[in-house]
Copies of this chain bind each other. A is one copy, B any other.
Amino acid sequence: MSTIERWSVFEISAPGKTEGNPFTDYTVTATFVGNSEKVTVDGFYDGDGVYKARFMPSFDGEYRYTMSGSFGDTVEGSFTVVPPSAGNHGPVRVANQYHFVYEDTTPYYSVGTTCYAWAHQPEETHQKTLAELDKGYFNKMRFCVFPKHYIHNFRNPETFPYVGTPVDNSGLNEETFSMFVTDFSGNDWDFTRFNPEHFRRIERCIVELMERGIEADIIVMHPYDRWGFSAMTPEQDDFYWKYVIARFAAYRNVWWSLANEYDLLFNKKLADWERYARIICEKDPYNHLRGIHQCMAFYDHSRPWITHCSLQRQDLYRHVEYTDDYRTRWGKPIVWDEISYEGNIDMGWGNISGQELVRRFWEAAMRGGYAGHGETFVDSENDILWWSHGGELHGESPARIRFLHEIMTQTPGLGLRRGQGSFDETVGVPDGFPAAGGGYEIHYYGFGRPSFRDFRKPEGEWKVEIIDTWDMTITDAGVHSGKFRVELPGKEYMAVRLVRV
């Protein structure tokens, strides 16, 4: 009998009928029964006459399973679930209203990145991406299931999600391309037949991320399209959503991003997004995190199915400084999935400095939110930009983001919120950490350059550390009490941490 560890994938695979269209003509479901749970999931056709069903156990011990339906003969069996190995903490959940934990209660401090189309790149680029991810800069990655049609993205993907033929792309260039294609003629897709190879590419990415402790924030729909995948019928959309969920839901690191910039999918109405959400809530037995990302108009993040607010702002100036406001407005975790990218392309959303990007990460963190990275340096030779393709990183921010994450892991409780401080500083304190239980404060000065700061701590002794968020140093400044002055270097991006001892 096979043995797997808790929160890993148990897959049933069996041959079945191939007559007609196996994607549509046959049913396949599977039920998994352990001592503490009974879960029924949809199976799916994986091509070549093979039907599969996947399951993620949440408990240890013996499980029995049955896969049945019109696809073919019923399959039964059993397996044993053992405790997770090191590094497997289970799926990420919302905790303490504004923050995240893994299911084993390990805090999860989101430091994300975005490589929209990395799943659709040639192997050489893919390996370079993995080599960067190995460096541990990030613990969340946003990427798309569908291929992407956008500036720097006119090449065809390695695979397409459907059986058929794509529109000719040979005449496409930055000069003449249309971002919002409405005429999809020239494409010839069978929207009733998936290309399993395409979805296996996505699964490979999910697993590679999982192995590196990185959450897979899967963007299921998006508007950057010349193939018509953003303009399918409701029936085609639902068919796609169910296939995606049946294939991906059993991976513990999956987050569902219903869309990137949902409001640019002009063919969809709010009722469509609500229907997709209903499908996820029905079909995903593991309750993975669910968000929806906008261009201009925020989705109503108070909708009960939304677990966290996936945000960007078009304002190039004030940005993550709204974290406090949006926590108050929606009462959910604030995840800034776009805060402009480190780079030097023409567009304002893609040419801020590493310093400004890291400043936004810190401001978001100190105010009780979480920010996301992206990188857009001009590559006139290969046109490979991390934000889209993955590949190699060139910026200065990733190492500083990893440093911020280390600081966060030293924080009591599950995350920070903006604490009391004077108006000219952002003070992060443990969110929900009992006030009497100890003192922990990070005073962050952003682009301010104080050469000293005065503190008043009438009670207790406080360990003082000076954090250089850019040079990534932590300097012991002694133990103090009462009113005391901390000398600072008069440069940008400094913080002072006070911990009561």
Q: Which of A131-187 contact B (CB under 8 A)?
A: 175
- Alpha-carbon distance A453/B423, docked complex (angstroms): 38
A318–B316 CB distance below 8 A = no
- Alpha-carbon distance A452/B343, docked complex (angstroms): 12
Closest CB of chain B to A157's CB: distance in Å?
26
A450–B316 CB distance below 8 A = no
Q: Which of A335-352 contact B (CB under 8 A)?
A: 343-349, 351-352
User: Which residues of B lie under 8 Å from residue A316 when comparing CB positions?
Assistant: 423-424, 446, 448
A447–B353 CB distance below 8 A = yes
Closest CB of chain B to A147's CB: distance in Å?
25
B318–A317 CB distance below 8 A = yes
Closest CB of chain B to A119's CB: distance in Å?
27
User: Which residues of B lie under 8 Å from residue A353 when comparing CB positions?
Assistant: 447, 449, 492
Given contacts A352-B448, A378-B490, A448-B352, contact A424 B347 (CB under 8 A): yes
A450–B318 CB distance below 8 A = no
Contact partner of A346 (CB less than 8 A), chosen from B321, B351, B452, is B452
User: Which residues of B lie under 8 Å from residue A197 when comparing CB positions?
Assistant: none
Q: Mark A307-320, 1 if CB is under 8 A from B, else 0.
A: 00000001111100
B344–A447 CB distance below 8 A = no
Interface secondary structure of A, over-half rule: loop
Q: Which residue of B lies closest to A340 (CB)?
A: B448
B445–A348 CB distance below 8 A = yes
Q: Mark A288-317, 1 if CB is under 8 A from B, else 0.
A: 000000000000000000000000001111
Given contacts A378-B490, A449-B344, contact A321 B317 (CB under 8 A): yes
A451 at the interface (CB under 8 A from B): yes
B348–A451 CB distance below 8 A = no
A329 at the interface (CB under 8 A from B): no
B317–A317 CB distance below 8 A = yes
Closest CB of chain B to A104's CB: distance in Å?
38
- Alpha-carbon distance A281/B452, docked complex (angstroms): 45
A348–B490 CB distance below 8 A = no
New A-B contacts (11) at CB < 8 Å, excluding given A348-B448, A351-B490:
A314-B423, A316-B423, A316-B424, A344-B490, A345-B451, A348-B423, A348-B425, A351-B445, A351-B448, A351-B451, A356-B447
Query: Would you list 10 pairs from A and B whose C-beta atoms are within 8 A, ordered by A residue?
Result: A316-B423, A316-B424, A317-B317, A317-B446, A344-B449, A344-B490, A348-B425, A351-B445, A351-B448, A378-B490
